[in-house]
A and B are shown apart, each in its own frame.
Chain A
Amino acid sequence: MTTHDGIVQPPRTATWLVVLFASEEKDSLQGDLLEEFSDLASRSGAAVARRWYWRQALHSIVHLFSSAFRKAPYSTTAAVIAGFLLGRVLFPLPEKAIFAVLERYRVFDSHFDAYVFFATYGIAIAHVVTSMLMGCFVALMTPRKEMIATITLVVLLFSMTSAASLVWVARGNTSMLWSMVPWNFLDWLAMLAGAAIIRSQRSASRTLNSRT
């Protein structure tokens, strides 16, 4: 809990999450949450108010997500499909580039450990960066609904990975599963982080414009 000039402030992370998902109603909604939080903090104490605020923020996100998707289903779906297709184009590129460099300098012959490192972690790290760019791209296509479109894309990719995982398990290839899944989680997190960066930047510039 942060305090500023003796006034109890609501949890910043919870506020940030709400702002990520709210669109037109952002200012009024934040004001409502702050008003009730301050009232509750003065009546029941900071800890109770903080718990209430977190509960409200998390429940609100679910409703704001579904409401935003309902408002613009076609543009959101189009952004998700475009993001998915972009991923299909971009994802193999780092792999090709890294192997081209490794071949060019004959790393396999002279520095085998370095070859193994770049062929595994190098490609995986490049995929994380690519995922972040995909998140940025989808967010740029969906003004005010950045997180909604990106989360939908992540859910789609999660479903596909889950289906693939079931196939691997059925075939007894669990080593493949354990080597892929943690990196996939990192890719999805990077995608969401990319969208959150675009969303935060846009939100800040909108606030600045409305005050000037």
Chain B
Amino acid sequence: MSSRDYLGEFEHLIVLAVLRLADQAYGVTVRQEIENRTTREVSIGAVYATLDRLEAKGYVKSHLGDPTPERGGRSKRFFEITAKGLSAVNRTHRALESMSKGLDAIRSYS
């Protein structure tokens, strides 16, 4: 198994946010979901750069919604996790769980 099969830290956060948001996952909601849950400021550019990378790896796919007036006539780009992406997030979780197991200083991931 190559190291590419695991998600990076920010990739992991993005995939979890997309999973949580289900069919409402687009730039704004993904960014806000991460910011609200981690209290760390996230830029929309970082979200798009990471989602682009995940899409190139086949972990997410995207489609454009209809243009809306409050967005200046621009469409939302919705994202969803693929089966390959789901496997990657599960694998990453298992690896983190395995690494943290038995360490008293760290609460278990499970």
Considering the chains assembled together, what is the distance between the CA atoms of A29 and B45 in angstroms?
A: 8
Q: B49 contacts which of A28, A55, A66 (Cβ < 8 Å)?
A: A66
Q: Known contacts A56-B43, A59-B43; is A31 also within 8 Å of B72 by CB? A: yes
Binding site of A, secondary structure by majority: helix, strand, loop or mixed?
helix
Q: Mark B1-41, 1 if CB is under 8 A from A, else 0.
A: 00000000000000000000000001110011000000001
Q: How far is the CB of A144 from chain B (nearest CB, A)?
A: 13
Q: A63 contacts which of B46, B56, B76 (Cβ < 8 Å)?
A: B46
A28 touches B70 (CB 8 A): no
Q: Does A88 contact B (CB under 8 A)?
A: no
Q: How far is the CB of B54 from chain A (nearest CB, A)?
A: 11
Residue of B with least CB distance to A59: B43
Considering the chains assembled together, what is the distance between the CA atoms of A70 and B68 in angstroms?
A: 31
Considering the chains assembled together, what is the distance between the CA atoms of A61 and B56 in angstroms?
A: 20
Residue of A with least CB distance to B32: A36
Q: B45 contacts which of A27, A34, A38, A61 (Cβ < 8 Å)?
A: A61
Considering the chains assembled together, what is the distance between the CA atoms of A71 and B48 in angstroms?
A: 13
Q: List, in ascending order, chain B residues with CB within 8 A of A56's CB.
A: 43-45
B27 touches A63 (CB 8 A): no
Q: Known contacts A31-B76, A32-B28; is A59 also within 8 Å of B70 by CB? A: no
Q: A64 contacts which of B31, B49, B53 (Cβ < 8 Å)?
A: B49
B44 touches A71 (CB 8 A): no
Binding site of B, secondary structure by majority: helix, strand, loop or mixed?
helix
Q: Does A174 contact B (CB under 8 A)?
A: no
Q: Does A48 contact B (CB under 8 A)?
A: no
Considering the chains assembled together, what is the distance between the CA atoms of A25 and B49 in angstroms?
A: 9
Interface residue total, chain B, C-beta cutoff 8 A: 24
A30 touches B45 (CB 8 A): no
Q: Known contacts A32-B26, A32-B27, A67-B53; is A25 also within 8 Å of B48 by CB? A: yes
Q: Known contacts A64-B49, A67-B49, A67-B52; is A31 also within 8 Å of B44 by CB? A: no
Q: Does A33 contact B (CB under 8 A)?
A: yes
Considering the chains assembled together, what is the distance between the CA atoms of A30 and B75 in angstroms?
A: 10
Q: Mark A36-56, 1 if CB is under 8 A from B, else 0.
A: 101000000000000000011
B52 touches A25 (CB 8 A): yes
Which of B44, B68, B70, B72 has the most A CB atoms < 10 Å from its CB?
B44
B71 touches A29 (CB 8 A): no
B71 touches A35 (CB 8 A): yes
B71 touches A59 (CB 8 A): no
A35 touches B70 (CB 8 A): yes
Considering the chains assembled together, what is the distance between the CA atoms of A71 and B49 in angstroms?
A: 10
Q: Does A165 contact B (CB under 8 A)?
A: no
> Residues on A close to B: CB < 8 A?
18, 21-22, 24-25, 27-36, 38, 55-56, 59-64, 66-67, 70-71
Beyond A27-B74, A28-B26, A35-B70, 7 additional contacts (C-beta under 8 Å) are A25-B48, A28-B77, A31-B71, A34-B70, A35-B71, A63-B49, A67-B52
> Residues on B close to A: CB < 8 A?
26-28, 31-32, 41, 43-46, 48-49, 52-53, 56, 64, 68, 70-72, 74-77
